[in-house]
Structure 1
Amino acid sequence: MTETTSPDLTARARLRMAALHLFAERGFEATSTRAIAAEAGVSHALLRHHFGSKDGLRRAVDEEVLDTFDRILADLDAPAGGESLMATFGTVTARLFGADEVRRSYLRRALLEGSAASGDLFTRLLDGARARLDQLGVDGGPESEPERESDRLWAPYQVLFLILGPMLLEPVMRHTLDDPVFAPDVLRDRSAANQRLLARGLIGARSGRDR
């Protein structure tokens, strides 16, 4: 018995989980609804009853992934002790991706396929990051008003660059590292380096190292 056919899950949940696994493994276009139904251990007619179509099932998978992302962001508190907010975002959201290879693979495929659905998914992620920054009272700092407006525009993008970058680049990063990209020790070291680089600036950090 697989996770997707567990009797502890409803048929709807098994179908959504099966779709997540197969979309992550094969991609959306290469996955049929019949393959998803077979993976979930339910009839094809039941899939149609619950989701209507493969597009409807994809929307359900995206909603589940986005709900998880929003819950992780909701746990984020304002940084303390001189921590960088960006580094704090990276540390907290590592909980979502670090131990979940299937979600990483799904998001990587979904975001990189370049479809309208990809754009919708990224927009929802961006809206979530922007809303959490607003809730934390992040502003543009002491700069001029145009600079503050620019910071407000780009801050949620920077958050997603930090969060999604390692996930999107994982297939090639693994060739340059001795350990898996999302191994606990690698995550810890990367988060600490992000903290230092974002606090001091990349140029300042390199200058200090060269002294």
Structure 2
Amino acid sequence: MGRIGDNGRGKLIDAAFNCFAQFGYEKASSRLIAAEAGVALGLIHRHFEGKRGLLEATDIKYLEWARQRAQRGLPTLWGSGGDQQLSESDQLAIAYLQKAVMQPRPGSKELTQKWLEIATQDIIDAQKSGVIELHATPEQCARILLMLETGALILSDVGLDDPHTQKNDMLKAMSHIITPC
């Protein structure tokens, strides 16, 4: 996911996105975000009327990322399976959604609902194109995918699993509801 721009507004959105993905909404202070962006703290209020407005702008950035991935035929949450590695920006976007789900904050429900809509459509499109066969509804598949991914984050956070094992386990679990054609 590329940078939005070099102006103060774009720098703040990029920095907030990074901070919210890394620390969550509550722990990412306005001061931290401004410092990460290399701008004055007052620009947050000038451009966004506060941290909440900045959060709304970062949610829009995340949803644009998810839509672009879906339009390119790429899964919206966890890569495309197999041994393909996720880019650093994809990992950051995934962490952003995970934090919104795992650490509820303003707009978490709406962001998650919009992601589920995008992921469901992504699954429907893959089914229609003959790439996958479903053993559950597309909506159920999207919800299960989200639950698997957030569950993997919990295991990782407490040190019970490594990312490679998690990905293999998720692919195995998903194979019971989505089968490649």
Q: Same fold (TM over 0.5)?
A: yes
TM-score, normalised via structure 2 length = 0.68
Bigger-Rg structure (1/2): 1
Deviation, structure 1 residue 127? 1.9
Q: Which residue in 2 is equivalent to 1:161?
A: 144
Could you tell me which runs of 5 or more consecutive residues in structure 1 were left unpaired when the two chains were aligned.
1-5, 78-86, 139-150, 201-211
Task: Give yes or no for contact 2:148–2:170 (8 Å, CA) kept in 1.
Answer: no
Measure the CA separation in 2 of the matches of 1:104 and 1:89. Answer: 6
- Aligned length, in residue pairs: 166
Change in 2 beyond 3 A, CA 1:13/1:93: farther
Q: CA RMSD in A?
A: 3.7
More helix by share: 1
Structure 1 residues 1-211: aligned runs within 5 Å: 9-76=6-73, 91-92=79-80, 99=88, 100-133=90-123, 154-163=137-146, 165-173=148-156, 175-177=159-161, 180-181=162-163, 183=164, 187=167, 189=168, 193=172, 196-198=175-177
Measure the CA separation in 2 of the matches of 1:27 and 1:88. Answer: 20
Change in 2 beyond 3 A, CA 1:176/1:98: farther
Q: Once the two structures are superposed, what CA deviation does each residue of 1:31-51 show, in whole Å capped at 9, x if it has no partner?
A: 322321122111122222222
Q: Which residue in 2 is equivalent to 1:146?
A: none
Deviation, structure 1 residue 65? 1.0
Q: Once the two structures are superposed, what CA deviation does each residue of 1:64-84 show, in whole Å capped at 9, x if it has no partner?
A: 11111111111228xxxxxxx
